[in-house]
Amino acid sequence: MMARDKFPMGGAALLRGLDFGRRGSAALPLLAAMSLLAASGAVAATTNDLSEVEIQGRNLVQQLLEQSPATNFAQSGILKIRDAKGITTNIPVFFRILVTTGYWQTRYVAMQTNYDSAPPSVQLVIIHRNGEPNEYDISEDKGGIGRREDIIPIRHLHGNQIMASFAGSDFWVADLGLEFFHWPEQKILKHEMRRGRACKVLESTNPDLSSPNIVPPICYSRVVSWIDNESGGIVQAEAYDFKNRLLKEFAPKSFKKVNGQWELQEMEIRNVQTGSRTRLEFDLKKE
């Protein structure tokens, strides 16, 4: 694995991710990248016809989207998927940020070791270009290294194709790209405490709801996020289905002190309708 390059501290609010006021915390790698995956070019619109809460919502999202990684970064971990029957599957994952001229990308690789019984290995690449929407490319390897006939060519995902599971987990491709920050309708619902932190409650609404006949059964209608006032990190998020029923809940679960700095050790996304859940545990070095 490459060296653990760090994001710079300071003005990049989301780079502190889920740092609940821990002074001197390092950047939280995956959550920082997830937060940065939304393109900096948020949907522009005049404010003449917007309410004050909509203006505030768009301003907040714009601040979050203006952040970008400064260096390359790599991290590994385990996806622990527990299905509705309580059966747990562990999948090694590798995560990497690559910064280059004109764009940067985030790569997620979910590795399978038993190719006879397990789903194929999956590689997801999310490409960010300044002022443009995210680009999503995905490929699968059904046969293992060296068996190129079993490699499914790269597919470019469009529209609601990103509302699909990554490697059989409860994380959708859209979740890893925080695609809801791209939606044009953003508003601040209220200010409240959540998990001991003062937060802005941001509601992001799916624009496809304006055409209800084409919204698929599996799709977010809106996402409600609790954004920490101090760090700009996501304290908690809830996603609702096209019938406005709670579908998923996301939250950090634990932190570990690494080299004197607090870093995210574990986060969880839970499907409240199916009863399944996925925890992503990071491979953090001990002090």
pLDDT, tens digit, 9 for 90 and up, residues 207-259: 876 655 555 567 899 999 999 888 788 889 999 998 899 999 998 877 666 66
The span from the CA of 69 to the CA of 51, in Å, is 32
Pick the CATH number of 13-282 from 3.40.190.10, 3.40.1280.10, 3.40.50.300, 2.50.20.10: 2.50.20.10
SS3 32: helix
Please tell me the predicted confidence (pLDDT) of residue 133. 83
In this prediction, residue 116 carries a pLDDT of 52
| HEC string for 36-98 | HCCCCCCCCCCCCCCCHHHHHHHHHHHHHHCCCCCCCEEEEEEEEEECCCCCEEEEEEEEEEE
Higher pLDDT, 129 or 115: 129
Instruction: Classify the phi-psi angles of 21: left when phi > 0, otherwise alpha if psi is within -120 to 50, otherwise beta.
Output: left
Least confident of 57-61, 64-68, 74-78: 64-68
In the DSSP assignment, the letter for residue 210 is G
Q: Is the pLDDT of residue 277 over 90?
A: yes
pTM above 0.85, yes or no: no
